[in-house]
Each structure stands twice: as C-alpha cells, then as structure tokens.
Structure 1
Amino acid sequence: MIEYENHAEVPVAMVKVIESRNLSLSLADEFGVSHASPQVILIQRGKAVWHTSHYKIKDASITTAIENMKNT
C-alpha cells in the first residue's frame, strides 16, 4: 500500500496500466469514469466520488477533494 504523504490515513492503491490493462479498464467501468493515465480516483463507500487525470492532478485539488469527502 502506498501512502499519500499529506493524508496518510487515506488508503492508496496504484494500478500500473501497462502491466494491468484489463484491471485498469475494469476499474474505470466499475466506477463509471473514463479511463485515463495517469489518473486519480477517490472512492468512498464503493463509489467514485471524485476523479481527475493528467495535468489536472495537483496536490491542492486532491487535498480539497479528500477534505470534501471527509465532510460527507
């Protein structure tokens, strides 16, 4: 398990798309998000509550999304 250094309490899993393409596509389908790489998907209670990809992956946006997720 990887740690997100600003929120160590949030479990993080990394899927290596090239090595695990089928898993990556399956997760995108299961959570109803478009597949992208790189991509961040926040999952709460079994549902994707936030996602972003490529150059929109920023520490500030992830932190805001995590804080918003905690408040729901």
Structure 2
Amino acid sequence: MELLTTKEAFEQAVKNNASLVLLKHSLTCPISSKAKRQFVKFHENHEVPSYIIHIQENRDLSDYVAEYFGIKHESPQVFLIKNGEVIFDASHWNVTAKKLEKVVQ
C-alpha cells in the first residue's frame, strides 16, 4: 500500500498499473477509519496495487482525482481503476472489502 502525495505520483500509478485501488481517506472521520480498515483487509488478500490519499494533507490532490475522473469528491471514497478508467467507486459505508472483492473478480 502506497501513500500518494502528488499529482505526478497519482498519474504514474494510473499509467503504470493495469488495475489499482485508491482510497481517499480522512484522517479525522470515524466513517473513514472504518473504510480504511476494510480497504486494508481487501489489500491483505489481493495483489492489486493499493494507494491512499490523506485528504487533509493533500486536498489539492484529492480534488484533482475528482476532476481527473469526473467523479464528485466524497470522503471516504474508493475507486477501482482499470486501464485508466474508474470501473467502480463507492463512498462512506459502502466502502467494504466484500464489495471490492466482487468487482475485482
């Protein structure tokens, strides 16, 4: 799991991976803490490259991701990206390991 902090690092991750999962995570929100635990659980059982953006520390990057994909910013928010396209996104209580597992298969 890798922390993204720049637009360039985000763009490289999208370019260099056929598929990846990305979590936009709030460091202060209890819902986001639960979503992160689900994200980590998924990551531990799958070899899909996984990335996190800490929203409070990288709000510009978080907004850039929303603009890049044309998907409204939410937090927490997870994306499954294949070949540069978002094929699944979820936010808040819908960020679960089980849902990520279903869309990866």
Q: TM-score range by the shorter chain?
A: 0.7 to 0.9
Match status 1:23 vs 2:36: no
Q: Does 1:6 align with 2:70?
A: no
SS of residue matched to 1:5: helix
SS of residue paired to 1:14: strand
In the alignment, the residues of structure 1 paired with residue 92 and residue 98 of structure 2 have an alpha-carbon distance, to the nearest angstrom, of 14
- The number of residue pairs the alignment matches comes to 66
Q: Which has the higher helix share?
A: 2
1:66 CA drift (Å): 1.0
Q: Which amino acid aligns with 1:6?
A: N
Task: Provide the residue aligned with 1:34 in structure 2.
Answer: 72
Q: Which runs of 5+ in 2 are unaligned?
A: 3-39
Structure 1 unmatched ranges of 5 or more: 68-72
- Percent sequence identity is 36
RMSD: 1.3
Higher relative contact order (CA 8 A, sep 6+): 2
